[in-house]
Every structure is written in C-alpha cells, then in structure tokens.
Structure 1
Amino acid sequence: MNGAVDLPLGTSELSFQAAGDSRVRRSILPSGVRVLSEQVPGSRSVTVGFWVAVGSRDEQRAEAAHPATYGSTHFLEHLLFKGTATRTALDIAISFDAVGGEHNAMTAKEYTCYYAKVQDRELPMAVEVLADMFTSSLLDPDEFENERGVILEELSMAGDDPADVANERFFEAVLGEHPLGRPIGGSPEAIRLATRDAVWEHYRANYRPSDLVVTVAGAVDHDVLVAELERALTTSGWDLSVTDAPVERRSPGSSPLAVGRPLTVVERPNEQVNLLLGVPGLVATDERRSTMSVLNAIFGSGMSSRLFQQVRERRGLAYSVYSFAPAYSDAGLFGMYAGCAPAKAGNVAELMRAELERLAEHGVTADELARAGGQLAGASALALEDSDTRMSRLGRAELTLGEFVDLDEALRRIALVTEDDVRTLAADLAARPFSLVAVGAIDESAFRTAVDQAAPSIDVA
C-alpha cells in the first residue's frame, strides 16, 4: 500500500493490500451497514467489533418533547449484555466463556463498541451473539434497575480513585461547556434520574443498520464474514432489504472553545497529589497529528523523555510522569500528568509548564527526533501483533478519519516530521491557555506561579 486509502461513503466495495501482507476489505451493504476486515497472515484468532458513532458527547439535555439522555450511552452499553428475546445474560456470558473467548464493550466520547476475541473457528458464534445483543436487547425493566445500581457502584469506584477524578476534571477544565468535557460514564445524578424510556429512545434512534460498523481483524475471510453477518442480522429481525445510506461522519474541524478554567483543586486527604496540566490540542484529522506524535514521544513518552528525565530522574519529584494527546473530531487536548507529594506539587507543576515552554523556545535535537521515530516505529509494530489493535484501527479509520493508514504510511509520515515542525507545534501549544487540575491534600496557594489564576475554582470533596 502506498499512501493512505480514502474510505468514501459512496464507494460500496474496497480492497487493498496493507503493510505485512495483510488484506483489508470494506463492503457497504445496501442497508447502510459497513463491514471492514483485515485478514492477517498466520493469525489463529479473530477480534470482532460492532460500533456506532454515538458517545457521551451525543447525549442531550432535557427538552419539552424529550427526556434528558445524559448517561444513556454508558447505561445502554451495560444493558446490551443483559439479555435478548432468545438469550439471557447468562447465555451470552456462557457463549464466550465456553470457548475461552473474551467479550466486553467500551463507551467513549464519540463512539461505542461491543467486541469479542475468539479462535478463528468461533467467529460465526461471535458474530451471531453480538448481532443479537446489538439488535434485540430487551432493556428489561428489572434488569434496568439492577444495572442502575451496578453503574452507580462503578462511578463510586471511579470517584474513589484520585487519578480518575483528576482526569475527568481536566477534560472539564480544558474543554469547558463543550460536550467532550462531560464525563463518559455520566454523573451519579444523571444515572439516578435516567429512565428506561429515555434509554430505549436513545437505543432505537442510534442502533440502526445505517449506524452499524462491523470491524474484524485476524483470521477472517471477508466474504464469509459478510454472509454470516447478514444471516445473523436477518435472524435477529433486521430487514436488510431496505436501502439506506450509512450515516455521515462528524464534520471535521475545530470547534470554538471557551477559555479553560485555569485552576481546579479538589481537596482530598490522599498521600499524593494527582496533577494534570495542559492546553487545548489538535483535532483527529489535523495534518499535524504525526508531528504531535513525535512531540509527545520526545516530551513525555518513555523513560528517556524530557518530562521523565527532568521530574523523576534528575529531581526525584514523582514516580509517574508523562504526557498525552487525545484527539477528537472537533477538539483535542495536550496534557501532562504527575503524581507527587503535596509539598512538591507546586514545583512539579512549574517544571512541567517550563519544560513545554523550553521546547517551544529551543526546539529539539536531531538525536531526539531520531529516537522518537524509532520509539514510535517499534511501539506501533508491537501493538499490531494484537488483533484487538487492528480491529480498533479499522473502527477509528471508518468512523473518525475517513482514511486507512497502515504501518508503512504512518512511519513515512513520521519520518517527514522535522525539528522545526516540532518546535512550531510546541510554540503553538505553549501559547494556548493552560489549565491545571490537582486532586489531593493541597490548596490553591501552591500553584500561584504555575498558572494564571484569573478565575480559580476550589472544590472540597
């Protein structure tokens, strides 16, 4: 494969060779269902995912004609495992446990995925069970109430984890009122108020043939996969003879963001302070995303990174310290994390911000650039040993990017990144408004010089 392969929604069949002699195929069925597969030579397992491009950002406030749907995406993810007209929750669990398979789901900010990993010979079973779950969940009222308690316990568990609390508050601080700033799992208040009718409406509105994307990677024959999927969906009650187009992808481009909250402190009697410092980042389709990967590798990914060396190795101020750069269709973040003693938190925050500003002013060395390229090449190659990663890559390509980028093309793009590219992007990031979130036994006075504090927000919890 030379270059990225576009995935236009108007093209019903695509087939091409990717790095490592894998074969990628995509079919768009007349009903709008999209099916993507990557046949990997030598693989004996297969991972299958059923996706919809609906995540926590797509939930709505209450309106006169409709109830609030906050928390519905996460609620629904749980409920699809609780039974259909032909399978109980136990039946679903036994289907995968009996063959040594794995099955789970993930709710994200812009999509939801139900997936399973099994031996290649069990692919028909996995497709059949996932199709039944996806199309025919009962959302039984009793199970709905049981799962409400389970989800509240899950949120309580996350609320007891200071790192989870810091992460949620960081997204809120940087992105503000943007829908991506809301927590994926919903708030306890939203889950308590959720009704079965609201979740049912959310289910019926977003789990249709035109919404469904099925991605499979590993030991898979595409034609057999499509036949098995059509059979399973028809058996589950979907009329695939109705012609429809797949739903459009989200419009790319940056949404305007309000100025982030400069400082948020959540006081907790913990041994460590969990610190997050960062700025708005790049959207998923930004042409500079390869530059961002290189910048992140140099700045805060790995033991040779600048953050690790400055904060941990030279000064011993933290055990865990790194940077990260999540990207979405119309917004993104660039963040730095450290866990440290309360007495060191102010110093660590100053060091993290100063290190980004130093990168923006002085740039990177040729050695750092070469090392980042090697790190990204090796990490990417190792990740693709897993069919889970390949299945997820197909899903992101179809739902978000609109193009498939294999390993060779990804590394080609990384090799084109220059020292000046990295410095320019660092300068862009460093000029954006910073937000700092701290969770621990500390107050705002520790961060006077770390961030501009035009409107600090102090929470006691």
Structure 2
Amino acid sequence: MTSRSSATTARPSSEGRAVARTQTLLPGKDGIGTVRRTTLPGGLRIVTETLPSVRSATFGIWAHVGSRDETPALNGATHYLEHLLFKGTRKRSALDISAAVDAVGGEMNAFTAKEYTCYYARVLDTDLPLAIDVVCDMLTDSLILEEDIDVERGAILEEIAMTEDDPGDVVHDLFARTMFGDTPLGRPVLGTVETVTALDRARIARFYKKHYDPTHLVVAAAGNVDHATVVRQVRRAFEKAGALTRTDAVPVAPRGGRRTIRTAGRVEVLGRKTEQAHLVLGMPGLARTDERRWALGVLNTALGGGMSSRLFQEVREKRGLAYSVYSYTSGFADCGLFGVYAGCRPGQIHDVLKICRDELDKVAADGLTDEEITRAIGQLSGSTVLGLEDTGALMNRIGKSELCWGDQMSVDDMLARIAAVTPDDVREVARDVLEQRPSLSVIGPLKDKQADRLHRAVS
C-alpha cells in the first residue's frame, strides 16, 4: 500500500510527558478526508480520518490478535476474550458499559477474525468523548472475573450451536479445514465445544496480557473528529489505566508471512439432514499484500460477484439450479483462498458442481472477455466507493490498513489500481489461481454413492 506522508512532527508535552509523533498520511481535499497518524511513546498508534460534513463518528480499537495466534488448546480464546471485555471494568459494570452507549443512541459491538480483533462504537460527534472513554476502559482495564467467564461460556456455546444450525456458515469453516488442515487458519474462530469448555481464567488472562499491550493495538476514529482532540482523550484514558508506562516501546510490525501449508485436491463431506446441500469449491488464492490482488478482485467480480457474473447466469438464471451462488476471495498475511459457494437441492449438487468446475476451467484457459472485464472494473470501483459511505466503514478501512499494512491508501489510489487492471493481468492471475487442483467441502444429506462421486469430481 502507499501513503502520502508529511514530515513527522514531534511536539513536546506541556506536562513534561514523552513526545508523540504525528504524521499526515493522506492530505485530503480542503481538510476533508485527511488521514493522520500519531504514535504515542508507549507504542500505541492512533489514526483518524476527518469528515466535517457528517454528524457522526465511529471509534474503534484494533488488536493485533486473531484465531491464528491460538494453540490447539487455546482455540476460541480470542473470541472468548472479545466477549469478556464487555463484562466489566473497575470503573463500569457490564450494564454500565452498554447503558452508557445506549443512552446516547449509539451502537457498540466487536468482531473477531483470523488475524485481528476489533471493538468499536458509533455515536453522534458530540458523544465521541464518551465512546472513547468507554471503549478504552474496556480494552485497558477488563476484570476478567471467574464468574463472568462461567456465564459467558454458556453464551459462547450457544453461539457455536447457533452457527452449527446454519450449514451455509458451517461449510465455510469446513472449507478452511479442508484447505489448511489442523492449523490455526484451519480451525474455527469460535473454537469448539471441547476447547471452549476447557478454557479457564488463568489461560484467558495470560492471553489478554500478552496480546492487548498498547504496542499491539491501533486506535481508529472517523467522522466529524479532530485528530489532536482524539489523541489527547485516548492518551488520557490509556495513561489513567497505567497502560503507557513503556516510553521506549515501538508498535509491532504488520503480520509477516509464515507460509501456511495449503492442501490441494482434498474433499470433505459432512452428512447433515438439511433441505439443501451446501458446497464450496476452491483453491489457494493470494496473500493480501500480493500486487496481483487487484486483478484477482476483477476476476472474482466477473466470475461470481453479482447478478451479471458468469456463475450466477449459468447456475441460477439459465438453469435455476441454485438460489445463492457466488465466488469470493480471502487474503491473509502469507496466503489466501479463492472459493465458489452454492446452495442447492441435494439431487442437483453434481450438476451444480460440474457447471462451476467447467466455468473455472474455461476462464483459466481462455480468460474473460473485454466486456466482462470492463463491467467488472466498473462494478468493483462502484462498490468500493459505496462501501465507504459511512463512518463505520471508514474507521474499518483506516484501522485495518494501519494494522495489516502499516500504511494507508487513498480511495483515488484504490480506484486507479482497479482501473489499471488489463485483460492480460486477469488472464495471468486466472491461470495462476484457477489452474490449481481444487478442493471441495460439502454439507448435506448425501448418500455414500453421491459422496464417492464428489471425490471423483475433483480428482
């Protein structure tokens, strides 16, 4: 990623504290859309994007920890901890946390992914100081009490059960396991009933202390915000909790590549008494830092990214074999996935699989037409901009960019990268990705003969 950084400025504190370093990463236009970063002496990074024309602000804290940082015994600990940070601090009870944001009409939530965790609150701009105080308090001073762990264990087990009841979700976890095996990327973010049941306070508390150090955190705020004010309020909150005592600390670098082992040609079938069969057919994709990701994005959009895409037209529009069919990409620090999902009646699964396989083979061999590429570039460009029309999306963009790339890219630069994709770029990435031997994951009420036939379909 690229940024346009101004010279670093370091301003001495009037209170005698160690100085912070501030940079303008993206200058914006007339102050609108300006992105700035301040790095505090304790290693905490704060990035903001200023939009004076809106009346809302979204404040979030990103943690450099996800489910791929867990050992097998700790599977689910990151997500478990996400729940626990809402359960109370020395300053606020769980009810106090939720009531504070509810009282101003705001919304607060969190999510855990394979490589990061995010906690955020969206409020009116006048209530931003409250959001900063509440979220910072949660992240720096969580109690993690034994009784809260026991209560929340039940809630998480219910969440796992709820997910298990939706085969359309489970098949994606199954596909990750099919591709990555028993590795951190192959295990479910939620953990399993066995691992969640076995987690205790001591292990969760150690996990919290290790991964929620300020050097592992990125604070992000977007909307009608003033950068200097946000920095001052965040610094005050972290210093009050005693979280910025290491004045020589430096932020952790973006996650590096560890080259996860990926498996080709595997088939996993999970028998379930469902009305539909759910399948994911896919292969290794690209890491999120791979420059070919722009061409892969165009390829993905044309193949299965909308109603005019090849897969939608061939599977649903022309034959009515599925209601939902799409393709997707997932990029991690060192690897990625490309997948095709479809849900259909069990008796139609072989026809659907054959069509999907045929379309992938055609594009791998012949590429896309110029018309498809032009349409995909327009669709991808439009969806990129429209997806950044609220402060929550902007906060996600700058926070994730800082954590995962250590840099920022303007929307204009992103659109330029997409527009610069050529038919040759798409043909090259199609060959590199789609010519690999695929793997397949299926959930449904399939008989043994059907399962054997599925194994042969990807051989």
TM-score w.r.t. structure 1 length? 0.92
Determine the C-alpha separation between the residues in 2 that align with 1:145 and 1:261.
41
Deviates more, 1:317-326 or 1:431-440: 431-440
Q: What is aligned with 1:40?
A: 51
Matched pairs, number: 445
Answer yes or no: is 1:113 the counterpart of 2:124: no
Aligned equivalent of 2:35: 24
Q: CA deviation at 1:321?
A: 0.4
Q: How does 1:22-421 map to 2 (within 5 A)?
A: 22-61=33-72, 68-240=73-245, 242-252=247-257, 255-260=259-264, 262-421=266-425
- 1:177·1:258 contact (CA, 8 Å) conserved in 2? no
How far apart, CA to CA, are the structure 2 residues paired with 1:180 and 1:78? 21
| Whole-angstrom distance in 2 between the partners of 1:41 and 1:358 | 49
Q: Which amino acid aligns with 2:27?
A: Q
Distance (whole Å) between structure 2 residues aligned to residue 454 and residue 284 of structure 1: 27
% identical aligned pairs: 44
Q: For residue 81 of structure 2, what is the amino acid of its counterpart?
A: L
Q: Tell me, which stretches of 5 or more residues in structure 1 are unaligned?
A: 62-67, 456-461
Task: State the match for 1:5 in structure 2.
Answer: 3
Cα distance, 1:82–1:240 mapped onto 2, change above 3 Å = same
- Aligned to 1:404, the other structure's residue is in SS state coil
Query: Once the 2 structures are TM-superposed, how far is the Cα of residue 443 of structure 1 from its aligned partner?
Result: 3.5
Residue identity matched to 1:50: I
- Aligned-residue offset at 1:421: 1.2
In structure 1, distance between residues paired with 2:196 and 2:170: 17
Instruction: Provide the secondary structure at the position in 2 that maps to 1:231.
Output: helix
Question: CA separation in 2, counterparts of 1:104 and 1:378?
Answer: 27
Q: Deviations over 1:205-247 (max 9, x none)?
A: 1111211210111111000000010111122332446321111
Question: 2:44, 2:412 → 1: CA distance?
Answer: 29
1:19/1:407 contact within 8 Å kept: no
TM-score, normalisation: structure 2? 0.93
The alignment yields a C-alpha RMSD, in angstroms, of: 2.0
In structure 2, the CA distance between the partners of 1:326 and 1:7, relative to structure 1 (3 Å rule), is farther
Q: Whole-Å Cα distance in 1 between the matches of residues 345 and 368 of structure 2?
A: 30
Structure 1 286/444 Cα, relative in aligned 2: closer, same or farther at 3 Å?
farther
| Residues 71 and 185, structure 1, Cα contact 8 Å, conserved in 2 | yes
Look up the equivalent residue of 1:30 and give its one-letter code.
P
Q: Which amino acid aligns with 1:4?
A: T
CA distance in 1, matches of 2:387, 2:223: 14
Q: CA deviation at 1:259?
A: 2.3
| Counterparts in 2 of 1:97 and 1:260: CA distance versus 1, 3 Å | same
CA drift at 1:447: 5.9
- TM-superposed CA distance for 1:433, in Å, is 2.6
State the match for 2:17 in structure 1: none
Structure 2 residue aligned with 1:458:
none
Is the Cα contact below 8 Å between 2:79 and 2:190 reproduced in 1?
A: yes
Q: 1:401 offset after TM fit, Å?
A: 1.9
Instruction: Name the aligned partner's letter for residue 427 of structure 1.
Output: R
How far apart, in 2, do the equivalents of 1:444 and 1:429 lie? 31
Deviation of the 1:400 alpha carbon: 1.1
What SS class does the counterpart of residue 74 from structure 2 fall into?
Answer: coil
Q: Deviations over 1:60-104 (max 9, x none)?
A: 24xxxxxx3222111100000000111000000101100000001
C-alpha contact 1:6 1:402 (8 A) present in aligned 2: no
1:33-73 Cα shifts (integer Å, max 9, x gaps): 00000002411101111111100000124xxxxxx322211
Unaligned runs of 5+ in 2: 10-20
- 2:140 & 2:384 partners in 1: Cα distance? 34
